[in-house]
Structure 1
Amino acid sequence: MNLEMRDPAVERLGVLETAALLRELTAGLIAVDDFDEALDALVRIARNAVAGVRWCGFTALRAGEPAGVAASDARLAGLDDLRHGPDSPAMDAIRLREMALSEDLGRELRWPAWTPRARELGVQGVISAPVDVDEQVIGSINLYAGAADLLNTDHQLTAMLLAEHAGLLLAAVRDRARKAAQAGELDASLLDDGVIGQAIGVIMTQRGCPAEEALGVLRSAASSLDIPLREVAGRLVSTVSRPRDS
């Protein structure tokens, strides 16, 4: 039996390239709070870092409906958009929860509507890997090759690791976005609160600063004194409203 021998140096290089990809992806998404911005960074980094991949896209569904599409090349964005129909490798990956691979779209029969459009755009090979983000969002990362038979088992492993890592990072992005939104709602309610609102008004007048900055000053004082925010606000309002001795 003639078994293919793998060069250990090549195998190590693949591991190092994948580790570099995951490290770059983490650095690119670690501080992002916007989901669409995170998707754009994800497809750009994956396109640039994975050898043999000419384009990268991402298809996202929120509660079963199209929730977002990102593409490293705007010309190919329609290939990742499920509004054009469920006939695609991305939809197969999402629905079956397994990787969809076609090394040569010229021999592909599974996606009769999608494949001709892809080939017209220059796509000759594709890997779509399912991505689990959280309870509300699932998706697929789609790697495209511009020539047939470029995508191999190494690309499948990279796509699997990329999908797992991307899911964790995107979940963190959505969690940060939720917390930022909740903080914004909390700030709005505090600004309308009686004594806290009055205290904010006092600080705004004294410092000539906007309401958000005044609230930050009030919070900082509460933290430094280790007393509730409302109590700090009450003390401030009481101090400035106290009649001065003539």
Structure 2
Amino acid sequence: MNSPAEIPAGHHVNSPLEPRALDTGALYRALAESDGLDGFLQELTERAAHVVEPGECSVTLHRANRLRTVAASAGLVSGLDELQYEADTGPCVTAARECAEQHAPDLAAEQRWAPFPDEARERGVQSMLALPLTLNHGVYGALNFYAGVRDAFRDRRESARRLAAQASGAVAVALRIEREREIGLDLRAAMLSRSVIDQAIGIVMSQRRCDADAALGLLRRRSQDENVKLRELCSRLVTRVGGAPPRRGGFTERLPG
């Protein structure tokens, strides 16, 4: 039987500690250059794992009414966060919900969060550190560090705290950008739907010799009778009459001045 996968202990454990800090400028450049929120969070975990060695890192966020792991460094053993979510207890769960740092220097001696400590040790984890991420708009989370040796974070907790504070600001900005992007996409979708509906109204007005309000009323009644969304009904009508799918609105890209 294969032995459990282990998180590498790292060759820095017994070496002199070097002062490390997250390059804030590089972090915000990563935010600007990343392909959306997920790409940025992945970059964040990789950088965090390098700053707080030995071990690996993940990011927990509370979104859509549940905790979930949104990114993890490349060497992290899969499922460590999920063990805690399923049991509804564990360092990352407590750190996120209570907005308080959680340190488990030796999971073999840990009395909290059962059954997570034993299950984590079976996967090669001996110590863990979870720090809260202070975010906005009801979103909260945690920056989680796992190591394959005991007491791995004794002299790195202050670095980890500074990193979590820096990461909180960057993640809050990333979430705001994502929220604004989603609002823009919703607006665009609404305008495209309006364009298709307007085209269908024009067709009905021409066919029935009626005004726009009456044409819209006819389309709505048919939508209800056929149990089809109004936009889909209008799209079918425009395609049938025009012989091609409806035009997709009038969005024009602005060129730099």
TM-score by length of 2: 0.63
Residue of structure 1 in register with 2:252 after alignment: 216
Whether 1:109 and 2:111 are equivalent positions in the alignment is yes
Report how far residue 55 of structure 1 moved.
1.3
Which structure's residues are more often helix, by fraction? Answer: 1
Residue of structure 2 in register with 1:49 after alignment: 51
Unaligned runs of 5+ in 2: 1-15, 200-246
TM alignment of 1:4-153, pairs within 5 A: 13-14=18-19, 17-20=20-23, 22-32=24-34, 34-52=36-54, 54-62=55-63, 64-73=65-74, 76-81=77-82, 82-152=84-154
Report how far residue 172 of structure 1 moved.
1.2
Q: Secondary structure at the match of 1:148?
A: coil
- Amino acid aligned to 2:167: A
Inter-CA distance 188–19: structure 2 relative to 1 (3 Å threshold): closer
Inter-CA distance 117–25: structure 2 relative to 1 (3 Å threshold): farther
- Amino acid aligned to 2:173: A
User: CA RMSD of the aligned region, Å?
Assistant: 3.1
- Amino acid aligned to 1:181: E
Q: Secondary structure at the match of 1:171?
A: helix
Report how far residue 57 of structure 1 moved.
1.4
- What do residues 143-199 of structure 1 show as CA deviations (whole Å, max 9, x unaligned)? 1121112211x42112211211112111111211122222233334555667xx99x
Report how far residue 133 of structure 1 moved.
2.1
Residue of structure 2 in register with 1:156 after alignment: 157
Identity %: 28
Inter-CA distance 144–108: structure 2 relative to 1 (3 Å threshold): same
Inter-CA distance 133–98: structure 2 relative to 1 (3 Å threshold): same
Aligned residues of 2:56 and 2:76 also touching (Cα < 8 A) = no
- Amino acid aligned to 1:79: L
Unaligned runs of 5+ in 1: 1-9, 199-209, 225-246
Distance (whole Å) between structure 1 residues aligned to residue 52 and residue 26 of structure 2: 12
Which moved further from structure 2: 57-66 or 136-145? 57-66
How many residues are treated as equivalent by the alignment? 192
Distance (whole Å) between structure 1 residues aligned to residue 109 and residue 129 of structure 2: 15
Aligned residues of 1:56 and 1:144 also touching (Cα < 8 A) = yes
TM-score by length of 1: 0.66
